[in-house]
Amino acid sequence: MPRYGRFPMGRFPGRMGGRGRRRGRFRLWPIALFALFGLFYFFSNSETVEITGRRQIVDISEDQEIALGLNSYNQILNQSNVVPQGQEVDLVNEIGRRIANVTGETDFPWEFNLIRSDQANAFALPGGKVAVYTGILPVAKNVDGLAVIMGHEVAHAIARHGAERMTHQKLKQWGTMAIGMAVGEMDIGTQRTVMGALGVGSQFGIMLPFSRKHESEADYIGLIYVARACFDPREAPKVWERMEKASKGDGPGEFMSTHPSPKTRIEQFNKWMPEALAEREKHCGNRLGF
């Protein structure tokens, strides 16, 4: 008769016991591998943003970026009420041309359009495709105010913020995969908790702050361009005072937003103003506006 008392309970050798001891283990190697890959990826695709000198990571070529921007821009224009001609259209094109000329970027097929819409907004797509909505003209109020708004959008294109965001999204997806592998042996409840916390943490701790950093960088670069193009940069904080009044405090707080608050932007513009005025004096002397 077989004897079963040879091994004390809890020490019976076999697969089930081994699996029990491994269950719940956090694997570090996927995180380490992703960290090494991230460092290699950064140094392989790193470039410098003009004017600010910030190091950024962009993994697509400028030609690819221009093609993507053109495709998206044409789609938006085809679905929008584009203003074909008129004094406001001429103004948008003239301001855009002057600002683009001081950027030093000659490879972009610059294009500026005015879209009839109540939105108080403007946007830029990769490759120098810029559009202004008629709803923002009352906020701009004057030529210098419109130059501030358009300078900000031109700065987004020059700094390649769109391409940088696409690269960050790729890294976020790969990082999520690495975390998923690291917790793959844990129970389902723990995995869901970790991945949920990761999603919230990356959104509020990385993606939103970085978006706000892009907006502040575009504000600064745009202000320098406005000054070099001989517009009055002192209109910048006034634009955001008007924007704050127009928004009536609607929208989420800064922590939950992709953009800095109007108050933050006004403070930053005032901080940068001496440098902008020096740039205007250097490039324009006493000449302002048109």
Residue 282 tokens read as 């250097």
User: Does residue 44 lie in a domain region?
Assistant: yes
Confidence label for 265 from pLDDT (cuts 50, 70 and 90):
very high
Q: Which domain holds residue 54?
A: 29-284
pLDDT at 227: 97
Domain count across the chain: 1
Task: Please say if the pLDDT value at position 246 is more than 50.
Answer: yes
> With b meaning 16 or more CB within 10 Å and e meaning fewer, what string describes 266-277?
bebbeebbeebe
pLDDT at 238: 97
- Report the mean per-residue pLDDT for the chain: 83
Question: What span, in angstroms and rounded, lies between the C-alpha atoms of 110 and 7?
Answer: 80
**Structural domain includes residue 2:** no
Residue 19 included in any domain: no
How far is 16 from 31, CA to CA, in rounded Å?
28
Task: Identify the band that residue 201 occupies on the pLDDT scale cut at 50, 70 and 90.
Answer: low
**In the predicted structure, residue 177 carries a pLDDT above the cut 90:** no
Residue 17 has pLDDT above 60, yes or no: no
* Angle (CA) 160 164 170, round 5°: 155
**pLDDT at residue 11 is higher than 60:** no
pLDDT tens string 54-93: 999 898 888 999 999 999 999 999 999 999 999 999 999 9
Lowest mean pLDDT among 65-69, 95-99, 194-198: 194-198
| pLDDT of the residue at 44 | 81
Would 117 be classed as within a structural domain? yes
Lowest-pLDDT choice from 1-15, 138-152, 230-244: 1-15
Predicted local confidence at residue 208, as pLDDT: 59
Q: Which residues are catalytic?
A: 153
Q: Looking at the predicted structure, is the pLDDT value of residue 249 above 90?
A: no
Task: Flag whether pLDDT at 20 surpasses 70.
Answer: no
Q: Shortest CA distance to 185 belongs to which of 25, 29, 17, 21? A: 25
Question: Is 1 part of a structural domain of the chain?
Answer: no
- Specify the higher pLDDT residue, 29 or 3: 29
The answer to whether position 15 is within a domain reads no
User: CA 190 to CA 179: how far, in whole Å?
Assistant: 12
Contact assessment for residue 112 and residue 131, using Cβ atoms and an 8 Å cutoff: yes
The pLDDT-based confidence of 25 (bands split at 50, 70, 90) is: confident
pLDDT band at 21 (very low <50, low <70, confident <90, very high): very low
Position 206 pLDDT exceeds 80: no
| Percentage of residues of the chain with pLDDT beyond 70 | 79
Q: What is the pLDDT of residue 3?
A: 47
Instruction: Give me the pLDDT at residue 197, please.
Output: 66
Query: What integer is the mean pLDDT of 198-224?
Result: 76
Q: How confident is the model at residue 178 (pLDDT cuts 50, 70, 90)?
A: confident
Closest CA to 77 of 108, 120, 116: 116
Higher pLDDT, 21 or 123: 123
Q: Which residue spans within the chain are E strands per DSSP?
A: 46-48, 55-57, 111-115, 122-125, 129-133
Q: Is residue 279 part of a domain?
A: yes
Residue 141 lies in a domain: yes
pLDDT band at 98 (very low <50, low <70, confident <90, very high): very high
Is it the case that residue 45 has pLDDT exceeding 70?
yes
172: Cβ contacts below 8 Å, ≥ 6 apart: 202, 206, 207
